[in-house]
Amino acid sequence: MTDGHIATAFDRDLEDIQAQIMKMGGLVEQAIQHAMQSLHMRDEALAEEVRSQDKAIDAMEEQVNEAVARMIALRAPTAIDLRLALSVLKISGNLERIGDYAKNMAKRTTVLSQMPAINGSTSALRRMSREVEGMLKSALDAYIHRDADLAQAVLAQDHDVDQMYNALFREFLTFMMEDPRNITPCMHLHFIAKNTERMGDHVTSIAEQVIYLVTGEMPDTPRVKMDKTSTDPDIAPAST
């Protein structure tokens, strides 16, 4: 097989994988939407749908990983093409983690629906989740169009998500101090806020991969986290 034929086959394989990434990204965006909608509407059926849909996201990550491994084995990619293949693996991994956080949010929705509502909390959480959802859409657009500037803008948005999380954290503390009966629901709401903030971190990781893909270098400015409430990189999920 000539180099031209190999390149054409690689491009074909890559197009298929990129289509899978975009489909996976669409499912993750929907999971974020539905997880927050189920919380706002106290819709346990929709929350269960989010939990069930996570299996499809997990399966798509496995398919992408297998496709990339097969492409590397069969197409003998150049250094640049190998960089692209490895970036795809990291992006699919980040998407899978975002899906996991949406699933965890939906688990807590089922618990919260049995408790008194905390006034105004779900509206603030919805604003935060919409910010993350918009970041994800921009990050995926940046990947498809190889737009490093758009990816850089996504990195800047993470600051806003951190600030929203910090404000919610303080608000939940206030509610808990005012009335001990608010402690349990506010703890669950805090976990949802933290999961949303962590989604933003994974979206920024996707944006960083886009910058690396386009420029060959990771962003040279360290990303300063504005979340001052915890040094723990992950939050404990709700029990299954």
Domain CATH code at residue 209? 1.20.58.220
- Kindly report whether the global pTM for this prediction surpasses the value 0.75: yes
- Domain presence at residue 198: yes
Return averaged pLDDT per consecutive 10 residues of the chain, 240 residues in all.
58 88 96 95 94 96 94 80 87 97 94 87 92 96 95 95 96 94 94 97 96 84 56 45
102 backbone dihedrals φ, ψ, rounded to 5°: -65, -40
Q: Are 84 and 15 contacting, i.e. CB atoms less than 8 angstroms apart?
A: no
For residue 191, which of 230, 135, 133 has the smallest C-alpha distance?
A: 230
| Backbone angle region of 99, left / alpha / beta, with phi > 0 → left and psi within -120 to 50 → alpha | alpha
Query: What pLDDT does 72 receive?
Result: 85
Domain that holds residue 58: 3-215
Residue with tokens 């600030």: 163
Tally of domains in the chain: 1
- Domain presence at residue 229: no
